[in-house]
Structure 1
Amino acid sequence: MQDWINHIFVEQYREVFGEKGVGPLEPETFCLVEEVNGQSVAVLQAQQTLETAHIKALVVQKEYRGQGLGMLLLSRLEEEAKSRGIKSITLSTKSYQAKDFYLKAGYQIYATLENVPQAGITKYHFIKWL
């Protein structure tokens, strides 16, 4: 079944982008890590699909928050993305997470979903063009 689905997607991409524009359709996952004394204290996990990277996770251990490690990882991601030919970075976060952090980092909200994943929570979708 998965082969059939992949075939349909490849066919669509060829129609839109041509043979050279198909590229790898499966996301490539990569991680950036910040360590203190040999211990991982902050990690950013992203996936690249074509010319977009999507941040799957950005976590900083509680005792290291507020020290700039998250911003450092975002900056490193942007450098890595540019070297890979990535044109945009996307992510999703929820109202109890890091909305203001991403706004401060220059990301823009392009969609808001209220009461997702449950009542009282808002999910924000962000993008940053490189």
Structure 2
Amino acid sequence: MEVVSSFVERIFESQYQQAFGPVPSLASQTDELTLTRESEGELIVVLQAKITLQNAHVTALVVDEGHHGQGLGADLMAELEELARARQLTSITLSTKSYQAEGFYRKLGYQIYGQLQDVPQKGMTKYHFVKYL
């Protein structure tokens, strides 16, 4: 797997250098961010994002089932937006599926920029969202 990862990284790095010139590597411009909340010592909500250049991409927002509807996910999204603005990012992107949280992200002001019908399987839709800061 190391050989595969190294190959992918080398190709992406070459594309990055071609697009942006001799600037610091893409790897050095990528940061992972994790925001959490706990209750009684147990994780109840986690938000993970990958920051590259001027965009934060949410890779996961997970709320424990017993804590749905308490605004915890919205609080972490607001915290992410605040951190993104402080870092002078220009956008936040994410993907969700029709059985997950499409309406939640719409309420937070995210806009659909693309959708895939019958993904990940027939009868479902995968949505791609963006919010410009």
Listed one character per residue, the Cα deviations across residues 17-66 of structure 1 (whole Å, up to 9, x for unaligned) are 22236543674322100122332111101111222111111111111111
Tell me if 1:11 matches 2:3.
no
Please, which runs of 5 or more residues in structure 1 have no aligned partner? none
CA root-mean-square deviation: 2.0
Who is 2:33 aligned against?
Answer: 30
Counterparts of 1:120 and 1:26 in 2: how far apart (Å)?
38
Residue identity matched to 1:50 = L
Tell me if 1:69 matches 2:46.
no
- When normalised by structure 1's length, the TM-score is 0.87
Residue identity matched to 2:90 = K
- When normalised by structure 2's length, the TM-score is 0.85
Tell me if 1:85 matches 2:88.
yes
Would you say how many aligned residue pairs link Structure 1 and Structure 2?
A: 130
Counterparts of 2:132 and 2:116 in 1: how far apart (Å)?
21
SS in 1 for 2:27: coil
Please, which runs of 5 or more residues in structure 2 have no aligned partner? none
SS in 2 for 1:80: helix
Residue identity matched to 2:127 = Y
Counterparts of 2:58 and 2:11 in 1: how far apart (Å)?
26
Listed one character per residue, the Cα deviations across residues 95-128 of structure 1 (whole Å, up to 9, x for unaligned) are 1110000000010000011100110101100011
Contact preservation (8 Å) 2:46, 2:62: yes
Equivalent of residue 114 in structure 2, options 111, 114, 128: 111
The structure-2 alpha-carbon separation of the partners of 1:3 and 1:37, relative to structure 1 and needing over 3 Å to count, comes to: closer
Counterparts of 2:132 and 2:39 in 1: how far apart (Å)?
31
